[in-house]
Structure formats: structure tokens, C-alpha cells
Structure 1
């Protein structure tokens, strides 16, 4: 028997032994689990109760996280809930064990007088009672919309009766027509007669005027119901494949056409609203009545994103005028629109605009449209969190205010409507994530930098004075384990003037005498900036998980960089406009110059061996690096890329490439330009990607095959959009990524 066991051991030995490369990969894979629980008291942004009395936040503790609840008046802290009991309840709902120190959510809200919480888990809302923990999925009864612009007419609309302000009447939609009747399902007073399935009244948009004399809602001509069909090839626990469908409008598709309609509630008379001021709408915002009930307003974005307005309508006549008009030769940034109606009267409006070349706040005369600047300067207003109409004061964040400081660091301010009394509430060369109480009298400030752990403080909302230190982040054990913060590096962009900011991560065993291949972690989506600015390196609000993943790759024997090139957000309008109709640009001229400037100062960078990786829009940029800049980028791993913008979601792509679909979509297409591929490419896609149609990847595969180009492909059955890139346990795809870069670019010390 002993001889048999020895023989088996000898046979198994060579197969079981890891090669130096495999061992190196495994060490990188293990790094996250070894490091991510070593910090203490790293706090995340707080969330306030509606009454402003209490707030809660998450922080790191031994082995995971804890949620802390605090009384803002007494400063008394306690656990937000019984984490062990909640974990058991979640485990029963999810069908898998849940660790109370690693609950599967970062944020939650107290509801029902703090007797329950609601949190998002896997993109779905979950409600859990606390006294006797029990969890259930929250069912959204509203009609789904594909990316907000096409209603799913196969699903019923939420059609609860809308009570009039005095409670005597109610309005709802029956057989596509508006019906007004006595409350409680009583006698019908009147109903519209022109609604149809092809031109229906939307019950989810009904709004009564405050005085009850009128009501308004949208009438809708349906857009095109495009459906993406996916095959679940290996459904868990089953043998036969399944088919799933998703409402998924794409660029150029017809969107729902909404038009506001006003009715006199006493007579049922329809008041016509002329549509000349809002032609070809992309989307109209919710109808909002002014306080006196004499008029209403709504936001309008023209399709193509070149013009936005705030339209005010007289309730008695239907006469409309543009209270605000915003036009651009490129795009109006839809996600960053901000409007506040001072006093709810329509006489004065607070509006955010980039008309000066920088995003700033303006006080708008609601009758004439005259705009008076509230903030000015070559810096950017970021978040507007509170407007006090009585004090005529605004609380907001901004970046780029202090010359010489990282222009992406957020600081917090307050200012009066007339632009005077600008008070800076936070200081220091750090980034600040603040959470304000509903009345802005207090705020929780979590501030840090890539080389400084988070500090959480309760502050005075008028002066910024520190009232109490809530948490002092401690990364001592993490540093002792070998963690070193990434290096910040700045170089000039393509214009020779503009500063381009990025990060550098080196191997823990870095030897300045060696030459290292360089790998860029890219995400160049124009909707934000992406290089981490906060400390915590394992995910969360600072975006630091990117830095952790970069360290894992660096330890394989690479220098890894991440850069915010031109075309991304949070700088000037001109900086941002570089992306307009040029998603193929991805800031590459700036990125390449940045890496060359770094190499000029650090000869350990080998720019003859440069790789790149990214997911989603970063996946598209990765492929385009190999297609359009093969003289610089030699290998790339593209996860879940939107490789042809005609195949991707309608909203994101029309925002940056416009409408109608034109040559700019072709210029950025990895399918159209697949024959230009040089270098080495690994494509990774999740079979069930609900964000980017996975057919986009397969169409690139088809084009590469037809062009006789060699590449590698990994399809992950049941994988979603984050397949291979999740911040949880490192996946099979990440192991393949590490191996790919080692095979194509080298890396690893010579002795390994």
C-alpha cells in the first residue's frame, strides 16, 4: 500500500505543482482577501433621517463592516440594527448564508418610523423589518421604461386613483382616457374621449393643481418596443437552455412622445398647450404645479441633447413660454441638469449651466429668462445639495477652486442668491464627501486622499466648524502588510497647457533598476471622471477598488496607471467637449503623452510593452487602443465592451454621439474597424449582460474572423455586466486576464 501511495504521489506531483507564473498569479489573487479587512474605522458617507435628528453610516471593523447610528443632538452612537439577526433574515430570502460583518449592501434607508430598512441588493430593493427581522423584495408597481424613454406597454401602468387636494374627487385612466369621478369610486363627472392605445393618457403622470381647479398629465404616443433576446445556455439546476427578453431601446429608435395636457376639473374642458416650444422631445420631466395653481412647469430636452428648456404653462389659457433656455453647439449634459423653483412660485429659478465654459449657478427671472450669475470662475460646481428660500442661500460642492490643488478634489461651500457671502466649509488638499441634514444646519464630512485614510466629522453647516470627530481611519495594519498608496502624477495634455492627472501603482517588490511593462486601466466614459481620489483601496465611495485591482496586476511585474484624459467630466466645458461625436478619441492623445512624460522621469517604464484593460465603455476604449493606436498599445483585455454604439443603450450613446445616428457612430465602431487590429486581444463577455447587449461582443468576433485576425475570447455563462470585474472574490476571468498579460507583455522578476 505504501508503495502504491508513493507511486500515486509521484504521478500527481508534476500536475499539482504550480509553475512560477501560476504561483505569482495566485499570490495576486489572494492579495485582496489578505488585505481588505485590515483597516479600522474607515467611514463611508452618512445618510440622514428625514427629520434631521439622526444619521447612520458604514465603517470598517475587524473582519468586515458595521453600520453605526448616531443621534446628532446627543452624539450618542449605537449599532444601526442587529446585524446577526438581519443576516439570518437576508440569508433566508437570498437562499445563501450571509455574514453579518459583510452584509450585501453599502447603503440603506430607515422607513416606517425606523421599524424597517430598505436597501438595494443586486440592483433590486429589499425591505427588512427590524424588531423581528424578516426580509422581502419590494415590488415596483410602476410601468417599466426602457432607459427612461420607452414604456413597456406589455406591463400594466400604476393606476391608483389620484385624490384632489380637497379629497372630494379622484382621477385615473380607464381605457386610455382620463376619468374624473367622486372619491372612492363614486359617480363619474366626466372623461376624455380621444385617448387610444396609440395615443393614451398616462395615469402615472397625473398631477392636481394645489387649488384643485385644474389637473394635468401627459398624453403619450408610444415609441418602438425593441427587445433584446438572450439565451441562458446553462441555467443553474436545469438542463435545457432558457430564453430571456429585455426592453432595450437603441440609438435611433423611436422614443415615447409626451405632450402635456391640462383639464378644467369642473367642466372637463381640455386646455390646449401648443407644442412649438418643445419639438422632438427626448424626454419631458415630471409636471410641477406652481404654488398658486395658476401655472405649471416641466423640463424639456430636445433629442440630440443640443437644447434644454424649462417650459411654464398658464393653466387657464395653455399659453407657454420658455422660462429657461439652454443651447449648446455640442451637448447639454442631461445627468447634470439642476433646477430649483424659489418658493414654488415660478418667479425666480436656480439653474446650473455651462454657458460660461464652466458649470456654475444662475438666478433666472422666471418671466423674462434673464440669467444672473451666482457663482463664477474657472472652476466647476459639482453637487447642489440644499437651497434655503428664506435665507436665499445655496449649499454646494465644487472642484478646481484652489490653484495647484488636484482639480478633482471636492470641497463644500455656501453662497447667497446674489453671489455674495461665499463661505468655504471644508479645507485642505483632500477630497470631501459630505452628507447634509435636510435643513443643512449640520453635515457629516468624510475626507481623505489617496495617501490619507478617511476621517469622518460632524460639522456646522453655516461655518464648517468641526463639532465632533466621528471616526479616524486607521490603516496601520494595512501599511504593515505592505500596502503603499499609489503615486499621483501630472503631465500636460495634447494642447501643451492643460494638466492631465493620473495614478501610478508599482509592484511591492519594485526594483528601479529593472524595466517594467506598463498597463493602463482605462475608463473614459464622458459621464464622469474616474481616477480614485479617496483613500480606501477596496471599493466604495472613493472608487478605490480600482487601485486594489491595479496593485494585484502590478505585483505580477507591471507598472499600472490610470488617467483622466480629455473628454471626461468635472473639468471645463472645452475639456469635456473633446468627447462629443468622438468616442473613438477616449483621451488617447493625452494618455500617451502622460505615460511618455512619466517614462521620461522614471526609466523603469518600458513603453515598448504597453497593455490596456477596461470594462463597458472601458472595454470599447481598450479595443480602440489596439485599432487606432497600435504603435503604442500592444495588448488589451476588453470586458463587456459597447464596441459599436449603435448596439448599445439609447440614452448614453445619443448623449455623446447625438441624434440621428451618423458617421460618428461608425468612426468609433470596433466592428467597422476590426480589420485594423494589431497586437494581442482578449475579449470577455457575460452571457446575460443586461447593460450592454452581449451581441456587441459577438459582432466584433464575427468581424475579426472575417478579417482573419487572431484574438482570444471568453464567454461567461450566466455572467452579468460585471462578469470578471466584480469587487468580490477574483473570478476565473481575472485569472485569465493576469495570465494573458504575462504571456503577451512579460512581467515577473527574472528569478520567478
Structure 2
């Protein structure tokens, strides 16, 4: 009797009575781990079929075909004719199978090469054989094997020429005569022509000198001109990866590669070169050098049908983005549109489309406070008018009907009573008139526009609603036909339950924040659960799923072990208004502040949330978030798993980090780093650091430098370095299991299942 009273008094003395191993028996079993494994993304992916219809348009019109898969892996092929609202099999599947001698022991799947509905003809490939089929009879004739001539890489549109690089110089080959002309003579490894900065993943376990270089080669439509570059990386630093374990002996392998780090004085700079095929001359184009801030080439450009080349130029830290036109006739470059900002222009949101027939440019901008489209005159660069008129955030340009001068676009945030991230399809005249909402339903709409602009396929869902696939008219959005047969029966039979959406006011009591709670499938509202924050606060996007693809998340598998897992987007992430986004500018360390506030607020609403037991995990920028959260909110977060973290932004890529922190490096960079000794000294909880030894995106040095600071501060922590793993450790079953174990032991407070072995997984697949 007295013991029971004593326990009650102890419980009431807590701010919020947490259920731990001292006052409630907690045990995680093999069955719990098996259930968690069942909900891993790679496993639930096999339990759903045909969620989204991807239309394959026929002859640039409205008719299309699509395929669906049954439980045995057999594909069914369906044709849709929107004008007559006819949805029917593309052919008689059984007759066609018999006609091509399909092996019934193998799943039925064909590659459709050509389709002509008007003449009832179908050309397909099956088992490496090509067939011509009659759609009316579903009878096929095997075509004689033909060896198609293979064009060399980087060939001209007319097939007469190709470019290649040898010893860092450009060579032109004339196919009719095999004549080879050397175009440049001064290329070098540090200042080569056309080649990209190569990702080291391309030559892991290979001889780098024999790996084919990827080139920037832009052929004009008339095959008379080529645009390429010369990349000056002579003063650019290199990073290195060490492969400790491989099958070629015990001596570690070293891989070195160019990698411009944030804050570096020198980044790769590209000169644009124009090659005249008639004269076989490569000429330096008179234009400022283009920055290359990661892997790849420096040119972000394309040719249009007016035989002009258009390219984008980005200033350091993305404070300016501009559009330029190159005219090969006079070899002149002309500035068309320029966008500037005192903070940054978001390159992940910047859109441009050239309309050469009407001499127009569609350009996106956040100058009004939200992303919108504007119309410019291509000939003189003057602003004509603002195109989009809704109080929304324009997300994507789905197409422009130049004949009717209609823009079709998806946008979010117009409806104040809805989740502001839900996308809808609109149409509007290029002069800004007659804007019309085509998908008003309160769902996430992902649309596909027919080439003739008469119809569109709408894939609509939300976090709990199975996708609805509909053919709709672009005239008014009216549904023409329902298509597709999404099947989630096996997912439901597994016990899966949709996550719970929530919205919380931020601490300013004005800004709504949105997220999801993933609960175990055996959730009991009378219990109290530890909370895990699945974090990623990168300002280049938002990260809480809005469609039914919420099912495909590691959060659910982790929840099955006895946790509530939170995914949410706080201030500083994108696709909302400019002020919401600017919260991250020079302030990436504060990314999880809104998460802390929201979790506390949710715990006040839901008694099953134990705010005294909160953990956090994340990858990459989320790995940075995790370590920063463990320092910044040391009393709140008890356990963290930080994987592949960019723990100091100066040990990571130039473009991403400088966009949000600015350039040059200033005092706030030191304040934002996880390597700050004052921050590291605050660590109180259990922290596991993990990194792949061959991480080409965020070098392992980023984690090892944090390890050094933790050692200097005499802090306890755990570390896992994964041989032969790259940036995405979720590819490693061993890492997934160790993350589970870490939270089970240190946040749930019980023993994990010892050395749990995943089904159909090799013990040494890491």
C-alpha cells in the first residue's frame, strides 16, 4: 500500500509524468523489429500498385496509353481517348501474348516503340525482338533484325559530325570521311575544354584515367554551331576519399577530386566557347565567366528554334541570376532579364521559358513576396506585365499554349483554410487576364498536360487519400474519365495506418506550421510515447509529404518500435512566402527551433506524447540539424542520430551553403557551425554520429572534425564510419538497424533486439 502511494507521489511531482522502465515495464521484442522491418520503404513499395497514371501521349495530341501492373508483375496496357471519353484495353492481351509466343512463366511486359491509333498499328519490342502488330486483331509479325547504326556520343543533329575530348582538347570528327580536326591546343588538366568536374563515384574501384568524361556540348538545331566551355580549376582545391576496404588487397585506395568548398576564394570558372563547324574554329565568347559550384559543367543553357543560345548566369551566393542570349551570326551576347536580391535568389525555384515565336520570356520572381510569373519582351528585355494573379506561390510551369497565349501552372497557398503546400492547376492568359482554377478540390494535385492543351491527367491525393487519377478538360477542369486502378489492399492488410496531419501556431502566434505524426500501427492512446523528430530544415525545399506517398517513409518503420515520429516544416523552408523563407538566411542553426516549440505545443494537446523523452535524427543538412539541436536544445533532445552531416558549412559545397549564409565568410559562419567549442560543450544527451567513408556529397571530414571537437570537450558520444557507403546511409540495413537500436536503448529505455537480421539481407551487404 505504502509503495503504491510513494510511486503516485513521485509521478505527480514531475512536470509531465513520463513513463519509463522505472514505472512501466517496456520491452521491445523480435516481433516488434519484424513489424518495423515490414514498414521500411523498400518493403511497403511492394505492397502498393498503380498509384499514379503516367500518360504516354500519342502523336502530340490528346490520346494516350498507360500501363498498370497486377500482383504477379504482368502489365496491362490501356488506351484513353479523351474526346470520346473511351477507356479500353490497347489490344487483346491474350491474343497478343500468343502471337509473340510469350513465355507464360515470365511476367508480361513489352516496350512500345511506336503507336498509331488511326491506322491501328503498334510496334513493340519483346525479348529483344521487334514486332509490328495490328491493334484490331492483336496479331504481330516479327520484323527482321536490323542493326541500327550507332551514332558517336555528342553527335550533331544532322548526324554528320561529333565532338570529343582528348588530352583535354577538343576534336571534331566528320562522319562521312572520318576526318578528325583538332580544334584547340592549349587544354590542360587544370584548364580543360568541355569536361565536367567529375563526381568521384564514377571511378570508385576503377582507373580514373579510363573513365569516360562527361562533356558540355550544345549543338545548334541547324548543326552549324556548338556551344561548349573551358573550365578554369587551376586554383581550385581538391577533396579526398579513402577506401579502406576493397577486394584488391589491404592497401587503402585514395580518390582525389575537385570540389569547391563554401567560402573558398577560388571556384571553377567557365569560359564559353562557340565552335563554327564550317570554319572549324573555336572562339572565346565575350561574356563574363560562369561559376561552377559543385560537380558538372558551368553552362546552364539551351538552344531555341530561333537559332539562339540562352544561358543563365548566377553570381556568388545567388544574389543575382540573369538570362543571356548568344547570337552565333554576330557572336554577340545580350542580357535579357536580371533578378537581384540583397539576400538570395532561390535557384531551386527559378523558372524561365523562352517563347521565340512571340518574342516573349516567362520569368519567375519572388519580388512581390511570393513566387509569381512575369512576361518580358525577348527583343529588348522590358517587363510587359505580371502574368499570374493569385495570392499564391507558383510551383511549376506545366505548359504554354502559344496559339491561345495560355499558361498552365501549378501553385499552392491561395486558400487560407487549407494546407498552404497543396498544389492546384491554374490557367491564365499571358497578359494576366482570365485566370482560372482547374482543380479546386482540397488535395495535392500533380498534373500532366496533353501536347494539344485540350486535356490533362490529374493525380490527386493527400496524406491519407489514395490517389484519384482523372482525365479532365482544360476548358473548365471538368472530369472526362476516371482512369487507373490504385491497389493498396496489401498495404492495408499489413496493418498500415496513415500518419496524422497537424498544424500548430509558431511562437509568433501568427504563422501556421504544418507536419505529420507517424504512430505505430498498434498505437494505444492510453499509453505515452517517446517522440522522435525526423528533421531536415534545408531552405531549398520543404520535406513533409503532402500526397499519399507519405506511406513511403522511414518514419513509419521507426514508429513501430514504440515511438511517435514527427515530420514538419518550420520557418526557413521554402514554397511559401518570402518572409517565411528568409527566416533561414544567415540563420541555419535555428532550423529546429520551430520543431521544439511545435512538439511542446503538440504534447499539451495529446496526452500520449511524452515531451520528457524526445529524440531527433536526420541526414545531410538534417545531420547538421541533429547535432545542432543536441547542443542548442540540450535539455530538450535526449538522443540524436546525425548521419552524413555537413557540420561546418565551409566543409561542404559552395553553391548550397553560400546561398543561405551569404558570401564572403563572416562572423555568423562561426556562430552557425557545429564545431563551435561553446556549442559542443553544451551536449548532455546521447549522440550517435554516422558517415559513409565514400561520401562524395558531404566529405567524411565534416563528421571527423566534429569528432575532434567532442574529444577536446571530453564529451561522450558514439561514432560509426561505414566502409564503401556513400552519402545515403539509408541504403545500409546495418545503419537502419543501429539507428533503431540507439533509440530503443537510449530513448525508450530498454534493450534492443541483439543483432537483428533483416529478411532477404546479406549480413555483409554494407
Task: Report the TM range for the smaller structure's normalisation.
Answer: 0.7 to 0.9
Matched, 1:240 2:250: yes
Name which of 649, 655, 679 aligns with 2:659. 655
CA distance in 2, matches of 1:268, 1:480: 66
Q: Which residue of 1 aligns with 2:52?
A: 44
Contact 2:518 2:564 in 1 (8 A): yes
For 2:126, the equivalent position in structure 1 comes to: 131
For residues 356 and 669 of structure 2, the distance between their equivalents in structure 1, rounded to whole angstroms, comes to 44
- CA contact under 8 A between 2:113 and 2:125: conserved in structure 1? no
Does the aligned pair in 2 maintain the 1:25–1:739 contact within 8 Å? no
Please give the alpha-carbon distance, in whole angstroms, between the structure 2 residues aligned to 1:385 and 1:223.
Answer: 41
Q: CA 1:523/1:198 → structure 2, altered by over 3 Å: closer, same or farther?
A: closer
Corresponding residue pairs, total: 655
**Is residue 712 of structure 1 aligned with residue 724 of structure 2?**
no
Rounded Cα–Cα distance in structure 2 between residues aligned with 1:701 and 1:618: 17
Q: Specify which of 738, 741, 749 is matched with residue 739 of structure 1.
A: 741
- After TM superposition, the score normalised by the length of structure 2 is 0.75
Structure 1 unaligned blocks of 5 or more: 1-18, 86-97, 104-108, 115-128, 135-157, 536-541
Indicate if the aligned counterparts of 2:412 and 2:421 stay in contact, CA closer than 8 A. Answer: yes
Partners in 2 of 1:402 and 1:78 — Cα distance?
A: 40
Q: How do 1:685-704 residues align onto structure 2 when only pairs under 5 Å count?
A: 685-704=691-710
Q: Confirm whether residue 609 of structure 1 aligns to residue 613 of structure 2.
A: yes
**Distance across 1 between alignment mates of 2:180 and 2:727:** 49
Q: Distance in 2 between matches of 1:163 and 1:30?
A: 50
Give how far 1:273 is off: 4.7
C-alpha spacing 1:41/1:161, structure 2 compared with 1 (3 Å)? closer
CA contact (8 A) 1:44 1:446 kept: yes
CA RMSD after TM alignment: 4.1
1:202 is the counterpart of 2:194: yes
Deviation at 1:414, TM superposition (A): 1.9
Question: For residues 188 and 396 of structure 1, do their structure 2 counterparts lie closer, same or farther at Cα, with a shift above 3 Å needed?
Answer: same
Q: Classify the secondary structure of the residue corresponding to 1:574.
A: helix
Matching residue within 572, 576, 585 for 1:580: 585
- Paired with 2:106 and 2:746, the residues of 1 have a C-alpha distance of 39
Q: Counterparts of 2:362 and 2:92 in 1: how far apart (Å)?
A: 36
Determine if contact 2:36/2:560 at 8 Å carries over to the other structure: no
Per-residue CA shift, 1:185-210, capped at 9, x if unaligned?
Answer: 58899967776666555385555656
Name the CA shift for 1:42/1:262 in 2 (closer, same or farther; >3 Å): closer
Aligned equivalents of 2:34 and 2:228: distance in 1?
Answer: 60
Matched, 1:592 2:581: no
Q: For 1:127-526, what aligned pairs fall within 5 Å after superposition?
A: 130-132=125-127, 163=156, 184-185=176-177, 201-202=193-194, 204-205=215-216, 207=218, 216-222=227-233, 226-235=237-246, 240=250, 242-243=252-253, 245=255, 247=257, 249=259, 250-253=261-264, 254-262=266-274, 273-275=285-287, 285-289=299-303, 291-293=305-307, 295-343=308-356, 347-366=359-378, 367-475=380-488, 478-479=491-492, 481-526=494-539
Per the alignment, residue 141 of structure 1 pairs with: none
Q: What is the rounded CA distance, in whole Å, between the counterparts of 1:38 and 1:263 in structure 2?
A: 50
**Structure 1 counterpart of 2:684, from 667, 678, 681:** 678
CA 1:467 to 1:56, structure 2 compared with 1: closer, same or farther past 3 Å?
same
Shift of 1:624: 0.7
Among residues 46, 56, 60, which one is paired with 2:66 in the alignment?
56
Q: Structure 1 pair 512/706, CA: closer, same or farther in 2 (3 Å)?
A: same
SS in 1 for 2:39: helix
Of the two structures, which has the highest relative contact order with CA contacts closer than 8 Å and spacing of 6 or more? 2
Give 3-state SS (helix, strand or coil) of 1:744's partner. Answer: helix
- Seen in structure 2, the aligned counterparts of structure 1 residues 703 and 24 have a Cα distance that, compared at 3 Å, is farther
Question: How far has the Cα of 1:628 moved from its partner?
Answer: 1.0
Q: Describe the superposition over 1:513-535 as per-residue Cα deviations: whole angstroms up to 9, x where unpaired.
A: 44332221111122211112122
Give the equivalent residue in structure 1 for 2:78. Answer: 70
- The CA distance in 2 between the partners of 1:67 and 1:733, in whole Å, is 35
TM-score by length of 1: 0.76
Residues 473-513 of structure 1, C-alpha deviations (whole Å, 9 max, x = no match): 45566446543322211111243211100112334444444
- Measure the CA separation in 1 of the matches of 2:45 and 2:233: 51
**Which residue of structure 1 lines up, in the alignment, with residue 575 of structure 2?**
570
* CA deviation after TM superposition for structure 1 residue 311, in Å: 1.5
